């Protein structure tokens, strides 16, 4: 009995320990009363579908301690991460464990959170707000049903005034129980397109993410409160600016309220004199929009980092009735104007349907980008804000001025845009994930997609980093009805542009045969992916030189993460030679070997480290060469987005930064090619005969709005041993701002002295001798046509295997022992077949 008493006392003290008064942020002049429900105090429990309600989990008494023995959980988070931390599943990122966790998605998961309320809520409105639940949930408070929500991207809230248990001193009477039932995630994406992120594609396996993935909070306000604040701004011809505050106000009472708006606007990241404004307005019951203009005579504009400073403003608004403060809002925004212009060299309505050149505050913003490939973790419970900040910092370090969020990935969390705002990185975004052509056709369901998209854009439209909207991603490529798909995407654009004045393009790339059937033109954009998917058809430089489009939304090459990173997710006995987990993590072993051979004239299979490093260097060199080719087309071409910057689990596919935030060697090649001012060598092949002259052109691309005078270009050619074969200087004079220009033709008779490879180094200096840009390349001694023919033979062998075993997704054909083909056998006990085409491990 004594032990039981002590146990109960311990439990009670543990409850009291996190149920003390004053846990709510004080509602002062400039603060809402917001109580975060984030953290590790949540509990979770598995139930068969439909059984949780039958068993009465939603009616567990609020003061009960039953949920203390449920599994621990964290919000924001996801079901898989909670189960992994609880020991219920093995790390889904490691080896092929994701297959073992597929049972999770067939159950419903109950989450419970206990909290105390000690503060009086008279004349106040209390909501529990969910910023995002993926995908479907039902919610109860103290046994009372609050409601159901579907849709991964929109926030939702429930008023809980009549259901809260409140007591200032008695913690049992003031105890509350919030219960959330997560339904099993949907299994067919076409049924929820636009409302949930696609969970398929060639860098993920069939494990459907779900969870309470964004914050949960309790918000207390007065009877009149803010629903939305939009700092809609414009720049006047005289350089001044207007900030039109569009405030959606909700009066939850039954009478009209005379409200006072106390407003202050000032610089957020720069010093400025505050602009104070105070005005009154009558607010009738219900939702209303109230607008107020603030004129700024000399605004500090927001710019991408390579065009200026990313200046940010903050407007603070207190909503008062007499001496009573009802609500408070603080909104950060930037003053900038985004416009589009037609790309020169392409004929409107003949070659293209849309202008694809972006201008920020009247300056051409050449987009040096990469597809985000995020979130940083597909299981968001593993993600931290520090990861976000570091990854965006790395994007800027790589000389990117833009990040593209495309239609296979969700709209990002607010902090992503905040960091982009602060670092001067623009965002080109598919507003909702429509990485599929299969969408519902019922009008009611289409309206749900439009509404979800509107909620997404409204939440993000104050961020100046958001500069371009897109509707779909390769959507028309897969649509059953091209005309229906086009009409849907155009209506989606109309819906979005009603809420924010930004350029919109319906889909990407819009140049497939289905898009043309829908009426789009032949040169809208290009997804530069065919080198990878048609591997062997061309050597890489022969391939990209065929491409001439106004914009490149995707440019894709693959590589393997570092050996250090590989050891974190590949079992030791599968590291080298590659085992089955390589294939499970999307290593296309044939294409990686071919890619290495294309770049180095060698598959580079001498060791794990050699193969891994070569794959990263090959990725980087192909990216560099392609990027420079595209940039030399400026201004006809207005932007490039690599595919990808990151990927959301430890795969062996597209990213130049791996899942552990470790930049690959290819990162440095991209950083070099994305220099805002770049000295570039234009060449037409990488394999040269000893008997011919080495020829090409010296170019300079300048994305800055700064002119460089008295410039000199230096070019050094070295042989295999590092000996200098040629060293020359060229007086090229002025490099104009925002330009791309050829300055010199090169013809050097030095190749007879080279055995296998040679190197070219470039340097650009200004009139004071300051280095503006440096660059380098290497080339092979060989026969370009012979190599191309050999590559085509290899392509035929690759295609024969893929036609037999299935394209892309099936990796068994890399392991002949596993399939039993070619006289091989498979040992079901060891399960460690090794990839053919690689040397046996010694």
Find out whether 132 and 168 touch, Cβ atoms under 8 Å.
no
Helix residue ranges, H only, 766-828:
784-805, 816-819
CA distance 588 to 372: 21
Query: Confidence band (pLDDT; 50, 70, 90) for 16?
Result: very low
CA-wise closest residue to 264 among 315, 333, 229 = 315
CA distance 704 to 695: 29
Task: Output 512 or 563, whichever has higher pLDDT.
Answer: 563
pLDDT at 3: 43
Query: Following DSSP, what letter does each residue of 542-589 receive, concatenated?
Result: HHHTT---S-EEEEE------HHHHHHHS-GGGTTTT-HHHHHTT--H
Q: 8-22, 422-436, 801-815: which range is least confident on average?
A: 8-22
- Which residues in 166-271 belong to E strands, given as ranges? 175-182, 216-221, 224-235, 241-251, 257-267
Query: Confidence band (pLDDT; 50, 70, 90) for 19?
Result: very low
Q: What is the pLDDT of residues 360-414, one digit of tens each?
A: 999 999 999 999 998 999 999 999 999 999 999 999 999 999 999 999 999 999 9
Query: Confidence band (pLDDT; 50, 70, 90) for 753?
Result: confident
Q: Is the pLDDT of residue 15 over 70?
A: no
CA distance 418 to 416: 5
b (16+ CB within 10 A) / e for 566-576: bebbbbeebbb
**Mean pLDDT, rounded, for 702-730:** 96
pLDDT at 801: 84
**Mean pLDDT, rounded, for 39-43:** 96
Q: Is the pLDDT of residue 539 over 80?
A: yes
Q: Is the pLDDT of residue 675 over 50?
A: yes
Find out whether 733 and 750 touch, Cβ atoms under 8 Å.
no
Q: Do domains 2-219 and 678-784 have the same CATH topology?
A: no
Q: What is the pLDDT of residues 238-256, one digit of tens each?
A: 999 999 999 999 999 999 9
Q: How many CB atoms lie within 10 A of CB 174?
A: 21
Query: Confidence band (pLDDT; 50, 70, 90) for 127?
Result: very high
Q: Is the pLDDT of residue 828 over 60?
A: no
Query: Confidence band (pLDDT; 50, 70, 90) for 30?
Result: very low
Measured CA distances, 19 to 12, 115, 259, 533 (Å):
10, 6, 35, 58
Give the three-state DSSP class for 811: coil
pLDDT at 416: 98
CA distance 478 to 437: 4
Q: Is the pLDDT of residue 358 over 70?
A: yes
**Mean pLDDT, rounded, for 723-746:** 97
pLDDT at 146: 98
Q: Is the pLDDT of residue 641 over 80?
A: yes
**Mean pLDDT, rounded, for 337-359:** 97
Cis peptide before 375 (omega within 30 of 0): yes
Find out whether 405 and 430 touch, Cβ atoms under 8 Å.
yes
Token couple for 106: 């067939």
What CATH code is assigned to 2-219? Answer: 2.60.120.260
pLDDT at 13: 37
pLDDT at 819: 59
Rg (alpha carbons) of the chain, rounded to whole number: 30
Q: Is the pLDDT of residue 4 over 50?
A: no
515 sits in which H/E element: helix 513-517
pTM (2 d.p.): 0.94
Query: Confidence band (pLDDT; 50, 70, 90) for 440?
Result: confident
Q: What is the pLDDT of residues 608-632, one digit of tens each?
A: 999 999 999 999 999 999 999 999 9
Q: 4-8, 414-418, 762-766, 827-831: which range is least confident on average?
A: 4-8
Q: Is the pLDDT of residue 595 over 80?
A: yes
pLDDT at 1: 46
CA distance 661 to 95: 19
Return the domain boundaries, the chain. Answer: 2-219, 224-333, 678-784
Find out whether 523 and 547 touch, Cβ atoms under 8 Å.
no
State the average pLDDT for the chain: 92
pLDDT at 829: 58
Query: Confidence band (pLDDT; 50, 70, 90) for 773?
Result: very high
Determine if residue 143 is left, alpha or beta; phi over 0 gives left, psi from -120 to 50 gives alpha, anything else beta: left
pLDDT at 206: 85
**Residue 528 burial class via C-beta count within 10 angstroms: exposed 0-12, middle 13-18, buried 19 and up:** buried
Q: Name the packing angle between helices 414-423 and 385-397 (round to 10°).
A: 30
Residue range 224-333 forms a domain whose CATH class is mainly beta
Q: Is the pLDDT of residue 12 over 60?
A: no
**Mean pLDDT, rounded, for 158-183:** 94
Q: 203-207, 259-263, 421-425, 598-602: which range is least confident on average?
A: 203-207
Query: Confidence band (pLDDT; 50, 70, 90) for 67?
Result: very high
Q: Is the pLDDT of residue 492 over 60?
A: yes
Using H for helix, E for strand and C for coil, what is the string for 628-686?
HHHHCCCCCCCEEEEECCCCCCCCCCCCCECCCCCECCHHHHHHHHCCCEEEEEECCCC
Strand partners, 370: 642
Q: Is the pLDDT of residue 806 over 90?
A: no
Using H for helix, E for strand and C for coil, what is the string for 101-160?
CHHHHHCEEEEEEEEECCCCCCCCEEEEEECCCECEEEEEECCEEEEEEECCCCCEEEEC
Find out whether 294 and 242 touch, Cβ atoms under 8 Å.
yes
Query: Confidence band (pLDDT; 50, 70, 90) for 2?
Result: very low
Counting DSSP H helices and E strands in the chain, the numbers are 19, 36
Architecture of domain 678-784: Sandwich (2.60)
Please provide residue 712's backbone torsions phi and psi, each rounded to the nearest 5 degrees.
-130, 135
């Amino acid at each position: 009995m004594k032990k039981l008493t002590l146990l109960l006392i311990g439990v009670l003290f543990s409850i009291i320990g996190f149920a003390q008064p004053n846990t709510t942020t004080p509602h002062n002049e400039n603060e809402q009363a917001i109580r975060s429900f984030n953290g590790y105090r949540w509990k979770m429990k598995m139930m068969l579908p439909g059984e949780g309600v039958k068993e009465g989990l939603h009616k567990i008494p609020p003061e009960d301690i039953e949920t203390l023995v449920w599994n621990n959980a964290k919000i924001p988070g996801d079901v898989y991460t909670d189960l992994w931390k609880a020991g219920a599943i093995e790390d889904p990122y490691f080896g092929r464990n994701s297959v073992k966790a597929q049972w999770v998605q067939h159950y419903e998961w109950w989450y419970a959170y206990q909290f105390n309320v000690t503060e009086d809520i008279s004349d106040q409105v209390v909501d529990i707000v969910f910023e995002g639940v993926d995908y479907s949930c039902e919610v109860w408070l103290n046994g009372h049903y609050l409601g159901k929500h579907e849709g991964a991207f929109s926030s939702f809230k429930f008023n809980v005034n009549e259901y809260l248990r409140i007591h200032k001193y008695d913690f049992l009477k003031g105890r509350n129980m919030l219960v959330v039932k997560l339904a099993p995630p949907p299994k067919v994406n076409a049924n929820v397109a636009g409302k949930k992120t696609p969970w398929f594609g060639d860098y993920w396996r069939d494990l459907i993410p779900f969870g309470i993935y964004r914050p949960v909070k309790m918000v207390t306000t007065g009877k009149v409160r803010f629903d939305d604040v939009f700092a809609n701004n414009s720049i006047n011809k005289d350089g001044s600016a207007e900030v039109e505050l569009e405030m959606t106000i909700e009066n939850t009472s039954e009478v009209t309220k005379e409200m006072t708006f106390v407003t202050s606007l000032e610089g957020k990241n720069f010093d400025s004199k505050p602009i104070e404004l105070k005005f009154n307005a009558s607010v009738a019951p219900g939702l209303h929009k109230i607008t107020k203009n603030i004129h700024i005579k000399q605004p500090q504009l927001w710019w991408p980092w390579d065009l200026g400073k990313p200046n940010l403003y903050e407007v603070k608004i207190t909503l008062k009735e007499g001496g009573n403060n009802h609500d408070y809002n603080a909104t950060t925004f930037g003053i900038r104007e985004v416009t589009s212009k037609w790309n020169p060299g392409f004929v409107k309505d003949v070659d293209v349907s849309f202008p694809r050149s972006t201008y920020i505050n009247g300056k051409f913003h050449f987009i040096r980008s990469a597809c985000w490939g995020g979130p940083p973790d597909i299981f968001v419970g593993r993600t931290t804000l520090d990861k976000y900040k570091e990854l965006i910092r790395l994007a800027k370090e790589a000389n990117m001025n833009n990040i593209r969020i495309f239609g296979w990935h969700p709209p990002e969390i607010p902090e992503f845009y905040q960091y982009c705002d602060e670092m001067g990185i623009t965002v080109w975004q598919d507003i909702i994930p429509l990485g599929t052509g299969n969408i519902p056709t019922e009008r009611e369901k289409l309206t749900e997609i439009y509404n979800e998209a509107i909620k997404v854009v409204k939440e993000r439209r104050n961020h100046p980093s958001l500069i371009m909207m897109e509707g779909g991603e390769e959507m028309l490529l897969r649509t059953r009805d091209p005309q229906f798909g086009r009409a849907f995407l155009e209506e989606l654009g109309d819906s979005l542009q009603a809420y924010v004045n930004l350029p919109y393009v319906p889909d990407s790339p819009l140049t497939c045969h289905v898009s043309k059937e829908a009426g789009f033109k032949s040169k809208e954009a290009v997804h530069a992916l065919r080198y990878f998917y048609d591997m062997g058809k061309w050597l890489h430089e022969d391939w990209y030189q065929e491409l001439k489009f106004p914009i490149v939304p995707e440019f894709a090459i693959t590589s393997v993460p570092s050996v250090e990173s590989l050891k974190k997710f590949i079992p030791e006995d599968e590291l080298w030679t590659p085992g089955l987990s390589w294939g499970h993590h999307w290593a296309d072993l044939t294409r990686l070997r071919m890619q290495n051979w294309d770049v180095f004239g060698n598959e580079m299979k001498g060791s794990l480290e050699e193969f891994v490093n070569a794959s990263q260097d090959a990725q980087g060199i192909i990216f560099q060469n392609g990027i420079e080719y595209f940039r030399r087309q400026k201004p006809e071409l207005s932007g490039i987005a690599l595919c990808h910057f990151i990927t959301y689990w430890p795969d062996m596919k597209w990213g130049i930064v791996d899942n552990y935030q470790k930049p690959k060697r290819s990162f440095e090649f991209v950083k070099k090619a994305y220099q805002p001012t770049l000295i570039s060598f234009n060449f037409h092949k990488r394999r040269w005969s000893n008997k011919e002259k080495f020829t090409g052109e010296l170019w300079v691309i300048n994305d800055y709005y700064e002119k460089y005078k008295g410039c000199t270009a230096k070019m050094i050619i070295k042989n295999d041993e590092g000996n200098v074969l040629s060293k020359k200087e060229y007086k090229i004079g002025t490099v104009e701002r925002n330009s791309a220009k050829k300055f010199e033709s090169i013809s050097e008779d030095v190749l007879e002295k080279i055995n296998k490879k040679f190197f070219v180094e470039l340097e650009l200096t200004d009139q004071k001798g300051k280095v503006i840009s440096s660059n380098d390349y290497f080339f092979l001694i060989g026969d370009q046509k012979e190599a191309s023919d050999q590559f085509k033979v290899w392509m035929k062998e690759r295609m024969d295997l893929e036609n037999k075993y299935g394209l892309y997704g099936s990796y068994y054909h890399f392991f002949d022992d596993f399939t039993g083909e070619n006289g091989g056998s498979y040992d079901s006990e060891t399960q460690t077949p090794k990839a053919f085409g690689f040397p046996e491990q010694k």
